[in-house]
Chain A
Amino acid sequence: MVWVIAGRELKSLFLSPLAWTVLGVVMLILAYLFLAQLDTYMEFAAQLALLESAPGVTDIVVAPVIGDAAVVLLLASPLVTMRLVAEERRARTLPLLYSAPVSMTEIVLGKYLGVMGFMLVLVGLIALMPLSLLLGGGLDFGKLAAGLLGLTLVLGAFAAAGLFMSSLTAQPVVAAVATFGLLLLVWIVDWAGAAREGLGDALARLSLLRHYENLVKGIVSTADLAYYLLFIALFLGLAVRRLDAERMGG
């Protein structure tokens, strides 16, 4: 049942010009960054060859591109997730889901997996860029896999927060702005308190960015994975609660 809802969600996304525009613009910007990074690498390739244990092409080209991809998508993903519930509420199509024999959890999971389908398409397309380097040389597949896993988890977190924000309002644009604000805040939350020992450390643990940096560097730790999974579970749980409360409250 979850997959039926997810399939409909994904289909509707690709039937709207918005998803295609986001896909196109994101790929264009990332391709530019990728080429710029590649250019830098070519310039220093000769000097790097002389070094003992020099950073490879994966470190210099791939990691920064994947790192930047998260920032670009921080801006773009609220636009993809904003319509999930808000648009249905505005068009009054929610009764279709509410009066069907499906639970609120199934509805939320279905919508989440639908939008994650779109996110995975994005990750797949982004992965094609580093893979194109195989035409002219080798890659560190371990680091690449860690980076792509990190990107998937970050997008999973963006989508969960976006779904929750979308469940709060009937105006997609309001949902987009609120999602963007929330994500940006969690992204930069460690900027404050850097001077004070305890607080800075605690805030750094909350930051979406800090956990992502490890994965992009190729370090896969349980703490980072757990952070993202908890983040996702929290916002999906909140979305279920919110929709249930709507049926109770009115």
Chain B
Amino acid sequence: MIPVMEREVLLRAEGLYRWYGERCAVADLSLELARGEVLGLLGPNGAGKTTTLHMLTGNLAPGAGRVTVAGHDLLDDPRAAKAAIGYLPEQPPLYRELTVGEYLRYCARLNRIPRAEVPAAVRRAMARCGLEGMERRLIGNLSKGYQQRVGIAQAIIHNPAVVVLDEPTVGLDPIQIREIRELVRELGREHAVILSTHILPEVQMVCSRVEIIHQGRIVWSAALDELERELAADALVVGLGHPPAPEALAAVPGVTAVEPLGAGRFRLRHAPGASPAEAVAEAAVRGGWGLVELTPERRTLEQVFVELTTGEAAQEKEAA
């Protein structure tokens, strides 16, 4: 964990709003991102993830609120702010008629890298994204995975403080997904990275912090270690060959509630972090219950996600 004093905030958004006509796509959204963090932006389709990323990168002007990148306000000093951002939109902005080398040289110049440093920057970005030897290939002829890599290379070519990636692993094969995730983790060490996705395990694998967006608002926010605690086991599933009465199970120290699941299986609730597994095993042996299964049950991020996003939707419906 990085000490609070050393936390260097690179991206700060305060009270962002965005309306499309009457529809409010993003409401009162604030977030903060420091060097060395990978922030996962989670949300169902249409939750406002892409709109948020568009606002953070200057592609859309927020209706209200402000964005600061590496200390520069995106509206007052767009040139300095945008120089500190690398953005990979959902669909990589590639010119199919150019070769990889031509395209990356153009991107480097566009991001104001001095002419003399362009070849080195292009080489570095290509090496980091595993594009060695592809310099003369036409972008239009590359596979989707390689196009995605060119898109990422474009986003990191000027070594920006903040890297914003919109669903970087969509449409890739499993091996490519692993490579891209590894790359994101690596980027997260030197830069600040924001990653939008709706793939839940991806967040747990690469992110250090998670924010769940739903209907344009951040409804849940947690660092990954907090997340682990939040998701900590609070139930055991036991399977018994000769099940006793549920009251006997409830009497085991540490068990707070018992739910029969049928066929000799029970879910035993307990206080988070205080698993009574040992006591249950001992009681089973003593009582001759024939223990065949003893599994800690974890809440998954998926459950949290579904609870948050469907619960709110139901409330909305009632209100309407």
Contact = CB atoms under 8 A, between A and B. Distances in A.
B97 A16 contact: yes
Interface string B93-115: 11111100010001101111000
Given A12-B97, A248-B61, A95 B110 contact: no
A240 to B, nearest CB: 14
B89 A100 contact: no
Nearest to A16: B97
A15 interface: yes
A191 B203 CA distance: 67
A95 B82 CA distance: 12
A4 B57 contact: no
A103 B93 CA distance: 18
Contact of A95 (B57, B78, B81, B112): B57
A250 interface: yes
A93 B147 CA distance: 13
A101 B82 contact: yes
Identify the interface centre among B61, B89, B93: most chain A CB within 10 Å of its CB. Answer: B93
Instruction: Provide the main secondary structure of the chain A interface.
Output: helix
Given A96-B93, A99-B85, A5 B110 contact: yes
B109 A4 contact: yes
Given A95-B59, A98-B59, A247-B60, A8 B93 contact: no
Contact of B111 (A16, A91, A92, A100): A100
Interface string A213-248: 000000000000000000000000000000000011
Contact of B89 (A8, A95, A250): A95
Contacts of A96: 93, 107, 110, 154
Contacts of A49: none
A192 interface: no
Identify the interface centre among A11, A16, A91, A98: most chain B CB within 10 Å of its CB. Answer: A98
A120 interface: no
B58 A92 contact: no
B266 interface: no
Interface string A91-116: 11111111111110000000000000
- Nearest 4 CB-CB pairings of A with B: A96-B93, A93-B93, A101-B83, A99-B87
Interface of A: 1, 4-5, 8, 11-12, 15-16, 91-103, 247-248, 250
